[in-house]
Amino acid sequence: MSKRLNNCIYDKRLSKDITQESLAESIGVTRQTIIAIEKGNYTPSVALALKLSAFFKTSVEELFWYD
């Protein structure tokens, strides 16, 4: 049984009223990477997950979880 890594990046980004491009620039990735993460098509590295959690001022566990 494979588990799917879910995230709430889209919701967090909208609550801060920022674009995918702005988020990408802030953490040093491309807009396409943000799109892939939000859609669940890309599993970020630990370093990238930590950058996202720092940006949103929350824990990695709040941003990402397995179903």
- pLDDT digit string (tens) for 7-48? 999 999 999 999 999 999 999 999 999 999 999 999 999 999
27 is in which domain, residue-wise? 5-56
* Count of domains observed in the chain: 1
What is the structure's pLDDT at 58? Answer: 97
Residue 24 lies in a domain: yes
- CATH number of the domain that 52 lies in? 1.10.260.40
Q: What is this structure's pTM?
A: 0.92
Whole-angstrom distance, CA of residue 8 vs CA of residue 6: 7
Task: Read off the tokens for 60.
Answer: 């990695």
Indicate whether 60 pLDDT > 90.
yes
Distances in Å between the Cα of 45 and the Cα atoms of 49, 60, 64 are 6, 11, 12
**What own/partner pairs with CB < 8 Å and gap ≥ 24 does 47-55 have?**
51/27, 52/9, 52/27, 55/23, 55/26, 55/27
What is the structure's pLDDT at 1? Answer: 62
